[in-house]
Amino acid sequence: MQKSYQAKFYNGTSSKAFTVNVSFGEVDLIIFYVDENGVEQKINWLKNQIKEVQYSSTIISIRYGNSFPYQQIDVTDKEFVKEYKNHFKVSTYKRVAHTNKRTVLISILVGFIGVLVLSYFFLLPFLADVFAQTFPKEYEISLGEKLYASVLEGEEIDDEKTKNINLFFKQMKVEGDYPVKITVVNKKIANAFALPGGGIVVYDKILDDMDTYNELAALLAHEYSHVQLKHATRNIFRSVSGYLFVSFLFGDISGVTAVVLQNVEGLRSLKYGRTLEHEADENGLKILQENKIDASGMALLFKALKKENDINVSEFLSSHPDIDSRIDFVNTFEKANTYSAINNDSMQYYFERLK
């Protein structure tokens, strides 16, 4: 004899509850009850016509029928729930908002980890970018100045070349929002990098590798683009976004500067990734075009650096991948934008003094 469970039965036409006994058949639920006239009734609910099952911590409700309104039984016996699961293994089984303490705990844990991971990979970089974009320019410049001082600490600055390279840049007549300050450092590595707010550092080895002033113009246009497009600021903010996030939460902007200064070492070899490098190349080419400087300087610069790289590993190149595709890009740009470059004697003059 099958075990039967007591349940409340509603026929769908009235709220009157009938007390019934439910047992499990092979493919159905068998419901016995005594109707108003005292007559014993038996109903079979075919498994595949069960319409809806809702289960909360104390009750399981099952609805049956082809069309609205349905018949319904409510069972409070926990054993029934177990047997229902075993017996029917049906997909209609729907747990309705039933949670116990363990699920709460697990979901909190999973959720917490999930949120952390998501924040780290999506939210933090996003916030860092937003923050960098809205970071006041004056603040960016003053941050840049502090970084400048600490990057150049202990470096041998070539005052003469520094003076000339700044005069050279002035001749390029670049119009921008940032006060540009270029420093030439004596170092036997071909490298150059930009800091937030207008600071650019050039190692003199890279100058030695150049043959024409167009190459220097291209290099400075590229580095200036990093400044103008806030790449350095964005990158720094990304790399310290963890600290940034906390500082941001507590509204402590000065804390950001301290953290950035602690991380100053990484600046020398800031890797921008392909997208940002490409952006800087493109913007750099536009600067050259606007100022009627021969864009082929950029391709020449890349070729010179490539050659240099075959002998000594250049830091500039190691952080600037895909040199060949960049040369291609310059060539495509030149073809698409034909303009007559004007020879600039002053630039030539300062360039010669840099050699």
Site residues for another protein per CB under 8 A: 8, 10-17, 52, 54, 56-59, 61, 63, 68-72, 74, 96-97, 99-101, 103-104, 107-108, 110-111, 114-115, 118
CB 80 within 8 A of CB 22: yes
Task: State which residue, 108 or 149, has the beta carbon closest to another protein.
Answer: 108
Q: How far is the CB of 323 from another protein (least distance, A)?
A: 38
CB 284 within 8 A of CB 218: yes
Q: Which value, to the nearest 10 degrees, does the dihedral of the CA atoms of residues 12, 17, 21, 22 take? A: 40
Task: State which residue, 70 or 349, has the beta carbon closest to another protein.
Answer: 70
Q: How far is the CB of 216 from another protein (least distance, A)?
A: 44
Task: State which residue, 121 or 339, has the beta carbon closest to another protein.
Answer: 121
Hey, what amino acid is at 68?
F
CB 97 within 8 A of CB 61: no
CA distance 157 to 145: 16
Q: How far is the CB of 280 from another protein (least distance, A)?
A: 31
Indicate the pairing of strand 181-185 with strand 199-203: parallel
Task: State which residue, 49 or 337, has the beta carbon closest to another protein.
Answer: 49
73's CB contacts (< 8 A; 6+ apart) are: 7, 8, 9, 10, 20, 22, 29, 31, 61, 62, 64
Helix (H, G, I), strand (E, B) or coil at 28: strand
Q: How far is the CB of 43 from another protein (least distance, A)?
A: 15
Q: How far is the CB of 85 from another protein (least distance, A)?
A: 18
Task: State which residue, 111 or 273, has the beta carbon closest to another protein.
Answer: 111
Degrees to nearest 5, angle at CA 203 with 201 and 204: 130
Q: How far is the CB of 10 from another protein (least distance, A)?
A: 4
What is the number of residues in the chain?
Answer: 355
Task: State which residue, 16 or 85, has the beta carbon closest to another protein.
Answer: 16
Task: State which residue, 116 or 157, has the beta carbon closest to another protein.
Answer: 116
CA distance 157 to 154: 9
CA distance 237 to 256: 9
Edge-first strand listing for the sheet containing 199-203: 181-185, 199-203, 192-194
Q: How far is the CB of 247 from another protein (least distance, A)?
A: 19
